[in-house]
Amino acid sequence: MSALKKYWAIAWISAKSNLAYVSEVWSRLFFLAVILYVFMCVWKATFANNPAGRFEGFTLNEIVWYLAFAEAIIMSSPRVTPLVDEDVRTGAIAVQLVRPLSYPLYRLASNFGEQIVRFATTFFAAAVIAVVLGGVPDNFATGLLFALIVLPFAFVLDFLGYLLVGLSAFWFEDTTGLALIYSRLTMIAGGMLLPLELFPENFRLVLKGLPFAYIVNGPAGLFVHPDLTVLGMVLVNQLVWIAVFSLLVAAVYRKALGRIALNGG
């Protein structure tokens, strides 16, 4: 229990310190407004050319809300890779070994605290913008409830991926390129710009088999189309992928520690 408290405290501090960067919040919200507006224009034009009024069950309003939620997830993802990369290169990760903390859990806690704050501010603004652009969606309350159930797991999954990229600094001279590509995969394969349901059939099947779908598309999809079966399926997939990523992190971390021991820190 006391171990849990420790990490909770880390998450809390990280959340609080993130609130201090007010100008960063404002410029994030400014960019968010721009992006949502651009999407809105693009989809308006698209719907105008397709008089059916729905794409695979999505109305214009639902698409806007889906994008708002998905964008809020992506934009709230803290940039943890450069931090881990630096810890590896400066040897700070070795210093962590003498503290009564697990390095991955420490990073997880601090990442989690930061992401919750960032998500809350970003989503609040996104919701205001979406109401202005499209109005209140149906099933708002149920959708939000379902989405919030799966969101913490989405954050953990998101974090584990970036942690792995950061830990690769043990072997690669530079991780910024890898982190860039990985973040793009999360955006596109996760369904940030376009719900996975709107991808061509064969694409969709592949993407639903990847972890990214359960970081972005899972929560955002549940938000606009709350459904108990889907909720269960998203949760199962998230837990499976978290288990897989955790095993990977454990293996990579153990190997990395071996390298520290070899190099003497």
Partner 1 sequence: MWNKLFNYLGLAVAYFGFNFKAQLEYRTAFVSQSFAMFLNDCIWLVYFIMFFDRFNVLKGWHAEDVATLWAVTAAGFGIGHSLFGNSLGLARIIANGDLDGWLLYPRALLPHVVLGKMSASSFGDAIFGYVVYLVVVKPDLPHFLLFTALTCSVALLFLGFSVLTGSLSFFIGNGDSLSEGWRNALIAFSTYPMDLFDGKTKLLLLTIIPAAYVSGFPVEALRKLSLLHAAYSLLGALAVVATAAIVFHLGLRRYESGNMVAMRG
Helix then strand then coil, % of the chain, to nearest 5 = 80, 0, 20
Locate 19 and state its tokens.
């609130």
Angle value at C-alpha 252, between 239 and 171, nearest 5 degrees: 135
Neighbouring-strand partners of residue 175: none
In angstroms, the CA 12 to CA 24 distance is: 19
233 binds partner 1 (CB under 8 A): no
Nearest approach, Cβ of 24 to partner 1 (angstroms)?
4
Q: Among 31-39, 103-111, 129-137, 148-156, which window interacts with partner 1 (CB under 8 A)?
A: 31-39
In angstroms, the CA 237 to CA 217 distance is: 12
Q: What are phi and psi of 264, to 5 degrees?
A: 70, 25
Site for partner 1 in 164-183 (CB under 8 A): 172-174, 176-178, 180-181
Window 3-22: contact mask with partner 1 (x via CB under 8 A): ------------------x-
Nearest approach, Cβ of 262 to partner 1 (angstroms)?
21
In angstroms, the CA 236 to CA 232 distance is: 6
34 binds partner 1 (CB under 8 A): yes
Nearest approach, Cβ of 161 to partner 1 (angstroms)?
16
Q: Nearer to partner 1 by C-beta: 6 or 44?
A: 44
User: Which residues contact partner 1 (rule: CB under 8 A)?
Assistant: 21, 23-24, 26-28, 30-31, 34-35, 37-38, 41-42, 45-46, 49-50, 55, 172-174, 176-178, 180-181, 184-185, 188, 193-194, 198, 200
